[in-house]
């Protein structure tokens, strides 16, 4: 009987993992549609209709995700399972996301009909688009939540057991970077010489903020923001899985996100897209080597903090090298970009304290209190 129970349990895990793979693949289609839509808003002026090819990619991906979820629910209900047990653990929130996305999608159609179609930055902030982002993020993180709640003892080792989770993590990062694309160094190469303020713009609103200062602070803030976003995600994953992560995990997440970003924002990149993809691949590979060498985990917080410092420093060092090699040059001064490399590492290090705060030694407090 025990053997039969273990066999049934193993079969259930295989079934859930199969669903993770299908769900992650369809969410990839769905995410690609979002970035194609972003590309259109960045490249095509005067879009005046909701009915576009890129909306077709995005919404067909959403409908495919809904369909596979509905099939899963129907089969489970047919076997007499209660609604809360019909989907694998972690997908209940994704189901809520589908409802939110569906409502926001209808709202998006109404919004565009009444107020027209936005372009460039304003397209990110319409209420219907914010609702779409929120619902879609809940959907795309389904495999990540499922893997998070699955006991390590039942998860297959290596890429087979972790690929859907890693794709889902990359989708989460890409959802966040899509909505911060105007504050992303892979979306605008502000450090490149062709972004330097001209003589005419140097006096723009000089009484409040010089153009040089504005572009510097904009670029600095972008590096800080994206470092926090990236390292919070990566450290969360490392905290949960540690040495279980297959080699190449960091490379996959960084490369997928970078490819989507530079493909969408290519017209704003002085380097062109490919050098920045190479930066992501190289930094990701370095991150994987660091994980393997340091064995960063909650049990080895010093190693975790070293990883959190070194990876951003490597990423932005390679980024500035790409600016030097593949753009008209760098207009930021040596103190600025070299200092930013160190500061980005410090930002990652500080994020590590949120993910893995120092332990409080309760015994020491009791002894100290008694002694006092």
| Residue of 254, 265, 246 lying closest to 229 (CA atoms) | 254
Answer yes or no: are the C-beta atoms of 195 and 189 closer than 8 Å: yes
| Domain residue extents for the chain | 1-163, 180-372
CA-CA distance, 105 to 114, in Å (whole number)?
14
Q: What is the pLDDT of residue 138?
A: 94
Element counts in the chain: helices (H) and strands (E):
14, 0
What is the DSSP track for 281-350?
HHHHHHHHHHHHHH--BTTBHHHHHHHHHHHHHHHHHHHHHHHHHHSS-B-S-HHHHHHHHHHHHHHHHH
Answer yes or no: are the C-beta atoms of 165 and 20 closer than 8 Å: yes
Structure-token pair, residue 270: 């002085």
Helices (H), 44-157: 53-78, 83-86, 92-115, 127-140, 142-149
pTM of the prediction? Answer: 0.88
CA-CA distance, 27 to 37, in Å (whole number)?
15
Q: Sort 281 into a burial class: Cβ within 10 Å, 0-12 / 13-18 / 19+.
A: middle
Residue 185 DSSP one-character state: T
| Residue of 184, 180, 302, 283 lying closest to 234 (CA atoms) | 283
Q: Sort 32 into a burial class: Cβ within 10 Å, 0-12 / 13-18 / 19+.
A: middle
3-state secondary structure of 192: strand
The angle at the Cα of 311, spanning 353 to 139, to the nearest 5 degrees, equals 75
Q: What is the pLDDT of residue 258?
A: 98
Per-residue pLDDT tens, the chain, 372 aa: give them: 445 455 555 677 777 889 999 999 999 998 999 899 888 877 777 665 566 777 788 888 889 999 999 988 888 767 766 766 678 888 989 999 999 988 988 887 787 666 666 656 666 777 778 888 899 999 999 999 999 988 776 677 889 999 999 999 999 999 999 989 989 999 999 999 988 876 545 554 444 446 677 778 889 999 999 999 999 999 999 999 988 999 999 999 999 999 999 999 999 999 999 999 999 999 999 999 999 999 998 889 999 999 999 999 999 999 999 999 999 999 999 999 999 999 999 999 999 999 988 877 655 554 444 443
Cα distances (Å, whole numbers) of residue 58 to 67, 178, 240, 242, 363: 14, 14, 31, 34, 55
End-to-end distance of the chain based on CA atoms, in angstroms? 59
Residue with tokens 């929130």: 93
């Amino acid at each position: 009987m025990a053997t039969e129970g273990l066999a049934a349990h193993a079969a259930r895990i295989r079934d859930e993992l199969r669903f993770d793979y299908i769900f992650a693949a369809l969410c990839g289609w769905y995410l690609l549609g979002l970035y194609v839509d972003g590309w259109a808003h960045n490249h095509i002026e005067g879009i005046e209709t909701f009915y576009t090819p890129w909306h077709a990619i995005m919404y067909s991906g959403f409908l495919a995700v809904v369909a596979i979820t509905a099939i899963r629910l129907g089969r489970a209900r047919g076997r007499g399972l209660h609604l809360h047990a019909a989907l694998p653990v972690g997908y209940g929130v994704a189901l809520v996301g589908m409802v939110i996305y569906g409502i926001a999608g209808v709202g998006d159609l109404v919004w565009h009909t009444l107020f027209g179609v936005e372009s460039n930055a304003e397209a990110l902030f319409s209420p219907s688009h914010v609702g779409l982002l929120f619902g879609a993020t809940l959907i795309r993180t389904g495999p990540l939540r499922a893997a998070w709640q699955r006991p390590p003892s039942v998860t297959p080792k290596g890429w087979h057991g972790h690929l859907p989770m890693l794709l889902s993590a990359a989708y989460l990062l890409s959802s966040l970077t899509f909505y911060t694309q105007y504050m992303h160094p892979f979306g605008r190469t502000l450090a490149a010489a062709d972004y330097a303020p001209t003589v005419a713009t140097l006096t723009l609103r000089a009484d409040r903020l010089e153009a040089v200062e504005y572009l510097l602070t904009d670029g600095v803030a972008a590096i800080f923001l994206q470092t926090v976003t990236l390292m919070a995600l990566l450290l969360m994953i490392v905290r949960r899985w540690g040495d279980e992560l297959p080699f190449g995990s960091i490379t996959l997440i960084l490369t997928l996100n970078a490819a989507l970003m530079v493909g969408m924002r290519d017209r704003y990149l002085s380097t062109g897209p490919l050098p920045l993809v190479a930066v992501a691949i190289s930094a990701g590979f370095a991150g994987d080597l660091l994980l393997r060498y340091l064995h960063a985990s909650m049990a080895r917080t010093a190693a975790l903090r070293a990883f959190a410092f070194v990876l951003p420093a490597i990423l932005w060092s390679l980024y500035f090298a790409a600016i030097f090699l593949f753009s008209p040059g760098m207009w930021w001064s040596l103190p600025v970009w070299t200092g930013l490399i160190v500061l980005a590492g410090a930002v990652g290090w500080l994020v590590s304290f949120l993910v893995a705060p120092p332990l409080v030694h309760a015994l020491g407090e009791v002894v100290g209190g008694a002694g006092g």
